[in-house]
Structure 1
Amino acid sequence: MSLSIDLKGRIALVTGGGTGLGRAGTNALVAAGATVVITGRRHDVLEQAAQEAGAQAMVCDVSDPDAAKALVERIVAEHGRLDILVNAAGLNIRGDSFEYGPEDWDRVHAINTRGLFFMSQAAGRVMRDNGYGKIVNIASMASEIGMPFIVAYGSSKGGVKQITQGLAVEWGKTGIRVNAIEPGWFRTELTEPLFHNKEWVAKVENRVPMGRAGKPEEVGGAIAFLASPLSDYITGAVIKVDGGALAA
């Protein structure tokens, strides 16, 4: 068996593929030879990212189960199959938990857990019928440890970990592998404001054994690995990509 990551002939869908870690995953999958569709809600962002990465853009609100189902049906109609799903779409609304409102709570969970589950369901039905599929979910350090002012986000990412493990067990005999990545602190569009806080940056650098935050492209290899045949006997795994932060 070749030890190189070769995804030629595979069809992949990356939610949130136009920005941040989703875009890094898109770049890695394209580099490995996959045909990649990226989705999100902002048409202009998607089109630019798709053009730069060599991917295809399809607009979709992942929090809408009907839209998720229609998106998967369109991909199958155009490409004949769907082999890989990377659930990278995510939302974090920070706030004091004494004052946090139900609207913000629901918005975070609508994308991070509800949307991830129903997108996995739609893709999973196609993968089940084909007898093969890879689902890679983006969880978080906040799936493991408590962090202040992001309780909604942390609870949703804890849910991502449990969805990953639950689906891996339930779908194990169908040929679908379901795994997740727990990124540490990465500099993306979502976290950019934090990196302008020198005190916060110093705290992160002190916490991470490698002494720095991650670069989005450093997640791409883990995504490509979990999407490839090299990980065919891995399911239900949650891989930390955090510079050693959770080991410290």
Structure 2
Amino acid sequence: MVYSKMDLSSRVALVTGGGTGLGKGAAEGLRAAGARVVIMGRREDVLRKAAEDIGAEAIVGDVVDKANVENVIAQIAEKFGRLDILVNAAGINLRGDSFEYSEDQWDHVHAINAKGTFLCCQAAGRVMRSAGYGKIINIASLASEIGFPRIVAYASSKGGVRQLTKALAVEWAPFGIRVNGIEPGWFRTELTEPLFHDEEWVKKITSRIPMGYAGKPEDLQGAIVFLASRMSDYITGELIRVDGGALAG
């Protein structure tokens, strides 16, 4: 049956930023498809609770610490003997006036969103190269493609994630590693919750979404499972918009 290609029961997945938001939603989707899932994050209490909810394992780690990332990947490879899927969902957004935006803010956003994504790709990619197979899914953003005010560091870092995805896809295809990305639109998560208390903002963004509502973390799961599964084995270097049609017009 063709849909057996969606079965992830033989796969091991790591989701960074898996304790909350889109990362947790991705981990839930992978677990529901049968994968053994490890979630990674910096807040142990949040991570442990999420792992319990999902039926996953948790490893506390920081994506901007190269040695820490490599240690986490090594632990997974040693315990399970493999790492098939990596979802890079760890991310941060610090909003502010670009005229006043500080160097520290810029460095912090880029360290997590861009550098952290690369370090995790690099460490996981080495394990996948040895196996001759792997799926990497990077969480980018609509801001990877179009401009929005007051998020200059976030937009530029996510634009970097978009191009990182394409560059690694080309370089790593000969090793059987597929590298793709997802560009979520407006989603309601812990990170964006304060925005959804602004009725005018909600009205404005809803008017830009043809489907008429903001996404929920579970709305990302179809794309995640598809890109993680054998159904997408001939797809690499692509970024799928999951935005309710916001950029279709």
Question: Would you identify which runs of 4 or more consecutive aligned residues in structure 1 move more than 4 Å?
Answer: none
Letter paired with 2:127: V
Report the identity percentage.
66
Question: 2:205 matched to 1:185?
Answer: no
Cα distance in 2 for residues equivalent to 1:35 and 1:164: 24
**Match of residue 55 from structure 2:** 54
Cα distance in 1 for residues equivalent to 2:112 and 2:226: 25
**Match of residue 148 from structure 1:** 149
Instruction: Report the Cα offset of residue 221 of structure 1.
Output: 1.1
Q: Which runs of 5+ in 1 are unaligned?
A: none
Q: Please list the CA deviations of residues 117-140 of structure 1 after superposition, one character each: whole Å capped at 9, or x if unmatched.
A: 011000000000000000000000
Cα distance in 1 for residues equivalent to 2:39 and 2:13: 8
Question: 2:207 matched to 1:209?
Answer: no
Letter paired with 1:245: A
Cα distance in 1 for residues equivalent to 2:125 and 2:203: 42
TM-score, normalization by structure 1: 0.99
Instruction: Report the Cα offset of residue 3 of structure 1.
Output: 2.1
**Match of residue 127 from structure 2:** 126
SS in 2 for 1:95: coil
- Please report the RMSD computed on the Cα atoms of aligned residues, expressed in angstroms: 0.7
Letter paired with 1:203: K
**Match of residue 24 from structure 1:** 25
Cα distance in 2 for residues equivalent to 1:162 and 1:65: 21
Cα distance in 2 for residues equivalent to 1:169 and 1:125: 15
TM-score, normalization by structure 2: 0.99
**Match of residue 2 from structure 1:** 2
Question: 2:90 matched to 1:89?
Answer: yes
**Match of residue 223 from structure 1:** 224
Cα distance in 2 for residues equivalent to 1:22 and 1:220: 10
Instruction: Report the Cα offset of residue 54 of structure 1.
Output: 0.2
SS in 1 for 2:105: helix
SS in 2 for 1:233: coil
SS in 1 for 2:130: helix
SS in 1 for 2:83: coil
Letter paired with 2:2: S
Q: Please list the CA deviations of residues 152-194 of structure 1 after superposition, one character each: whole Å capped at 9, or x if unmatched.
A: 0000000000000000000011000000000000000010000
Instruction: Report the Cα offset of residue 29 of structure 1.
Output: 0.3
Cα distance in 1 for residues equivalent to 2:42 and 2:216: 24
Q: Please list the CA deviations of residues 83-103 of structure 1 after superposition, one character each: whole Å capped at 9, or x if unmatched.
A: 000000000000000100011
Instruction: Report the Cα offset of residue 9 of structure 1.
Output: 1.4
The alignment of Structure 1 onto Structure 2 pairs a total of residues equal to 248
Cα distance in 2 for residues equivalent to 1:231 and 1:77: 27
Cα distance in 2 for residues equivalent to 1:239 and 1:205: 20
Instruction: Report the Cα offset of residue 215 of structure 1.
Output: 1.1
Cα distance in 2 for residues equivalent to 1:173 and 1:108: 32
Letter paired with 2:246: A
SS in 1 for 2:3: coil
**Match of residue 197 from structure 2:** 196
Cα distance in 2 for residues equivalent to 1:106 and 1:66: 19
Cα distance in 2 for residues equivalent to 1:96 and 1:81: 44
Cα distance in 2 for residues equivalent to 1:147 and 1:65: 31
Cα distance in 1 for residues equivalent to 2:222 and 2:49: 22
Letter paired with 1:3: Y
